[in-house]
């Protein structure tokens, strides 16, 4: 066979590549226009979602700062006064010269007050003690006494015939004052204030 590219005399030369069908067909992959992709809106949505959160945090911080400023500049003395049911401290009581006293309170806290020994006097048979009871907590208290002889380790009860308040009842706001006599040998004696069931509140030592 002859060379297809051989030129006949008087014929124009043609590029064989140009005569190829594949060369004359348009390249759809290179010539076709590639559509541009739209920008993703994710970043815009994220930025838009952050704005309310930032505003909320700013409002919370402003509220905290305003509260701290209010507390720091709040005038003193505006807090409500909560009444207390506990008896007044011992230091607020002033027994007479030579006397002494002590606060007392029940274990439940529903009864309490102040007990004072105003004076005492020993004789050949025992000791006469003048005392006063003031009730600060509770409506009333039925009381009684007993004494403990520190030297002889003995217990003694008042002589009812020689006492004016061997037992009795004290009401809140109405102190009771009277005498209690114990037939005991002279010595250091501890007297106890008790309720009507014999439960003691506290004790005071009567000097010799």
Residue 196 lies in a domain: yes
Q: What is the 8-class DSSP label of residue 162?
A: G
What CATH number should be reported for the domain holding residue 143?
Answer: 2.60.40.1240
Domain coverage including residue 193: 96-206
Residue 48 lies in a domain: no
Q: Could you report the per-residue pLDDT of 85-107, keeping only the tens digit for each?
A: 333 333 356 666 667 899 999 88
Inter-residue contact 157 to 149 (CB < 8 Å): no
Mean pLDDT, range 132-155, rounded to an integer: 91
Number of compact structural domains in the chain: 1
Residue 184 lies in a domain: yes
> How many angstroms separate the CA atoms of 109 and 111, rounded?
6
Helix (H) or strand (E) holding 143, with range, is strand 140-149
Q: Could you report the per-residue pLDDT of 49-63, keeping only the tens digit for each?
A: 556 666 777 777 777
Neighbours of 100 (CB within 10 A): 16
Residue 114 lies in a domain: yes
Inter-residue contact 170 to 193 (CB < 8 Å): no
């Amino acid at each position: 066979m002859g060379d297809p590219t051989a030129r006949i005399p008087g014929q124009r030369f043609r590029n064989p590549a140009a005569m190829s069908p594949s060369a004359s067909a348009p390249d759809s992959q290179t010539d076709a226009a590639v559509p541009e992709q739209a920008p993703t809106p994710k970043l815009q949505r994220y930025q838009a979602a952050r704005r309310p959160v930032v505003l909320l945090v700013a409002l919370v911080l402003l509220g905290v700062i305003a509260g701290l400023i209010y507390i720091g500049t709040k005038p003193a003395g505006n807090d409500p006064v909560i009444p207390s049911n506990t008896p007044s401290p011992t230091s607020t009581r002033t027994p007479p010269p030579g006397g002494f006293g002590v606060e007392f309170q029940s274990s439940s806290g529903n009864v309490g007050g102040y007990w004072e020994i105003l004076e005492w006097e020993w004789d050949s048979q025992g000791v006469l003690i003048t005392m006063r009871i003031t009730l600060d907590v509770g409506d009333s208290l039925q009381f009684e006494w007993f004494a403990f002889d520190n030297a002889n380790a003995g217990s003694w009860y008042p002589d009812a015939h020689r006492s004016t308040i061997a037992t009795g009842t004290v009401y809140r706001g109405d102190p009771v004052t009277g005498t209690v006599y114990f037939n005991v040998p002279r010595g250091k004696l501890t007297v106890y204030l008790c309720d009507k069931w014999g439960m003691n509140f506290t004790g005071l030592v009567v000097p010799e």
